[in-house]
A = this chain, B = another copy of it.
């Protein structure tokens, strides 16, 4: 079993790599090679099998072809220019999210045998312009360029799968919270910052109203679902290869209540509030209530308890306060 994670230097990709190394198997076979590719080569990880790191710009068709000249049994495509950046720089988003995804699929089309391709789409491909809650068969009517580019990737993934070029599975990730590290250019970045920064002893600004809802999942459940999604029997997927992963709906206030419950009053005191109209507009356009019948039937996991998510972060990802 040879596994390639494109976007393997990102937060989710890195955690997925760690989980695969811990398991040692995927789809019932021993992993013999795990390759991590990202715009900059990801840092090496120790494992009982070969782990290699590759610098890869997926917008570069030849570079994509080169890495896919080797046979990969499972390819995770997690690489993206994120929402706020794709909104600010239209060309950059199209280059990576639109053409990059096309390049990966095209390289797979030229291959025998057919790889399993797990594609990370996003709840951002939905919008609040259609009846809520979002169902598995609700139209993707994205109100960001990022969501548009992700939804285009879904359509291609489905057609490439239907034609037998790949065995694709496109999953719309909820906003993943709590992300460790630094804020990034995703409009959703603050959903992690308002938990992470106070726990690490730093002040943070919340840029939306506290009654703003979000559809989120923890890193732990997201990674577990990405593993499961690769393992689903393709016969169980049918003609529609894209579906939403389970998530939980919570308000910013609910998140802050959990922060207080876990971290205490002083930690909560590090959160200040000032609306950022740009961020607020993007986030308000995202659906926060989804029904995930397809994913539920496939046995995928769901977070139920945001306090647990906060505690998970403290145990596995938190930098000591003031460090």
A110 to chain B minimum Cβ distance, whole angstroms, is: 12
Task: Determine if A64 is an interface residue (Cβ-Cβ < 8 Å).
Answer: no
Chain B residue nearest to A90 (CB atoms) is: B163
Contact with B along A131-170 (1 / 0, CB 8 A): 1000011111111010010011001101100110000000
Closest CB-CB distance, A296 to chain B, in whole Å? 17
Residues of B with C-beta under 8 A to A163: 90, 145
Task: Contacts A156-B152, A159-B148 given; indicate if A238 touches B139 (C-beta within 8 A).
Answer: no
Residues in B with CB closer than 8 Å to A141 are 137, 158, 239-240
Q: What are the residues of chain B within 8 A of A275 when measuring CB–CB?
A: none
Does A127 have its Cβ within 8 Å of any Cβ on chain B?
A: yes
Chain A stretch 210-240: residues in CB contact (< 8 A) with chain B: 238-240
Q: A275-288: contact bitstring with B at CB < 8 Å (1 yes, 0 no)?
A: 00000000000000
Answer whether residue A130 sits at the interface, using C-beta atoms and an 8 A cutoff. yes
Q: A129-B240, A143-B162, A239-B143 are in contact. Are A148 and B137 (CB under 8 A)?
A: no
How far apart sit A158 and B147, CA to CA, in the bound complex (Å)?
11
- Contacts A90-B163, A163-B90 hold; do A155 and B131 have CB atoms under 8 A apart? no
Cβ–Cβ contact B90 & A129, under 8 A: no
Contacts of A129 in B (CB 8 A): 238-240
Q: How many copies does the complex hold?
A: 2
Which residue from chain B places its CB closest to the CB of A141 in the assembled complex? B240
Partner among B127, B140, B240 whose Cβ is within 8 Å of the Cβ of A239: B127
Q: How far is the CA of A131 from the CA of B293 in the complex (A)?
A: 14
Pairwise interchain contact A155-B142, C-beta atoms closer than 8 A: yes
Most chain B Cβ neighbours within 10 Å, of A152, A156, A162, A163: A152
Question: A139-B137, A141-B137, A239-B143 in contact; A158/B148 too (CB < 8 A)?
Answer: yes
Which one, B136, B155, B156, contacts A140 given CB within 8 A?
Answer: B155
In the complex the two chains form, is B159's CB within 8 Å of A155's CB?
Answer: no
Contact A155 B158 (CB under 8 A): no
For the complex formed, measure the closest distance between the CB of A249 and the CB atoms of chain B, giving whole angstroms: 20
Residues B137 and A159 in contact, CB atoms below 8 Å apart: no
Chain B residues near A155 (CB-CB < 8 A): 140, 142, 148, 151-152, 155
The contact sample of 22 A-B pairs, CB cut-off 8 A, is: A90-B163, A129-B238, A129-B239, A136-B139, A137-B138, A138-B138, A138-B139, A139-B139, A140-B155, A141-B158, A141-B239, A141-B240, A142-B155, A142-B158, A142-B159, A143-B239, A145-B163, A148-B155, A148-B156, A152-B152, A152-B155, A155-B155
Known: A131-B137, A145-B163. 13 other contacts (CB 8 A): A90-B163, A127-B239, A129-B239, A129-B240, A130-B240, A136-B139, A137-B141, A139-B140, A141-B239, A143-B239, A148-B155, A148-B158, A148-B159
